[in-house]
């Protein structure tokens, strides 16, 4: 799964899944453009030789800024990993209109703009690969995440739609659907909320919390030529949780 000399744009690259993905792609030869709003987090990536762009997903000018970075590297764009997003939220009766708008603005509209830009670049280049980061919550009813789940469901639907529309241009579009992954955003919840451990770990076949590298490797597979005949797929990376999240007999 070499990405030798391919330009790859990875959003939300400063930490968590994005950081693991950026490091993995760079190790496999990609020329990475790491995008994040966390300037401090991007410093380490710049020190390792990656091109960095400090920007927010809600900025409508972000595609233009990414385009300028690609131009300085000689192009073309080969891979886009749409990882940046926000989580949190509550049940529908606890969720305001503004909360829903924020989730869709970041998780869907920001992703949409970059994907639309990437499609144009990849059409001109004769093909490419886009991997979106959805969530297991896009497929499984989950408590307390109305805005988040709805937005990630939209990401999954958009992934399939793009795969249908642009496959004839040689553009593959897939997504990963992570389960509970230990990142800076989830680490405290995992430690401080015993119910979360019981639901996501004890009721999962693999019975462990996922790590960013677990998702990064799945993203790398979907982006690579190893998945040349895979498109429109939503790949669960959840330790089997969605399949096995029901009480099972405990061996005494």
Does a cis peptide bond (omega within 30 degrees of 0) precede residue 76? Answer: yes
The DSSP line for 116-132 is: HHHHHHHHHHT-EEEEE
In the residue annotation, 246 being an active-site residue is answered as: no
Residue 9: strand pairing partners: 33, 80
Taken in order 62, 63, 64, 70, is the CA torsion positive or negative?
Answer: positive
Tokens found for residue 32 = 């990475």
Q: At 161, is the secondary structure helix, strand, or coil?
A: helix
Say if strands 7-11 and 31-36 run parallel, antiparallel, or are unpaired.
parallel
**Token pair 């990376």 is at which residue?**
237
What span, in angstroms and rounded, lies between the C-alpha atoms of 166 and 160?
Answer: 10
Residue with tokens 């930490």: 15
Please tell me which residue in 137, 148, 166, 246 is annotated as part of the active site.
Answer: 148
Burial 41-79 (b: 16+ CB within 10 A, else e): bbeebeeeebbbbbbebeeeebbeebeebbeeeeeebbb
Task: Report the C-alpha gap between 241 and 238 in whole angstroms.
Answer: 6
DSSP code of 202? I
Q: What are the residue numbers of the active site?
A: 148
């Amino acid at each position: 799964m070499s990405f030798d000399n391919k330009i790859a744009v990875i959003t939300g690259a400063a930490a968590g899944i994005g950081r693991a993905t950026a490091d993995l792609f760079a190790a496999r030869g990609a020329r990475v453009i790491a995008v994040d709003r966390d300037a401090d987090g991007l410093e380490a990536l710049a020190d390792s030789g990656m091109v960095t762009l400090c920007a927010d997903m809600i900025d409508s000018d972000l595609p233009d800024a990414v385009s300028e970075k690609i131009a300085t590297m000689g192009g073309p764009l080969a891979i886009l990993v749409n990882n940046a997003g926000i989580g949190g939220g509550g049940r529908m009766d606890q969720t305001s209109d503004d909360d829903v708008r924020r989730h869709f603005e970041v998780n869907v509209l920001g992703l949409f703009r970059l994907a639309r830009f990437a499609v144009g670049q990849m059409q001109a280049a004769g093909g490419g690969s886009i991997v979106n980061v959805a969530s297991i919550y896009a497929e499984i009813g989950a408590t307390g995440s109305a805005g988040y789940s709805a937005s990630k469901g939209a990401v999954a639907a958009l992934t399939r739609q793009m795969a249908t529309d642009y496959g004839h241009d040689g553009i593959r579009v897939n997504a990963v659907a992570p389960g509970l992954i230990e990142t800076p955003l989830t680490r405290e919840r995992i430690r401080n909320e015993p119910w979360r451990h019981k639901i996501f770990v004890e009721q999962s076949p693999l019975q462990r919390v996922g790590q960013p590298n677990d998702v990064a490797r799945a993203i790398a597979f979907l982006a690579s030529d190893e998945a040349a005949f895979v498109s429109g797929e939503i790949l669960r990376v959840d330790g089997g949780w969605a399949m096995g999240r029901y009480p099972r007999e405990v061996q005494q």
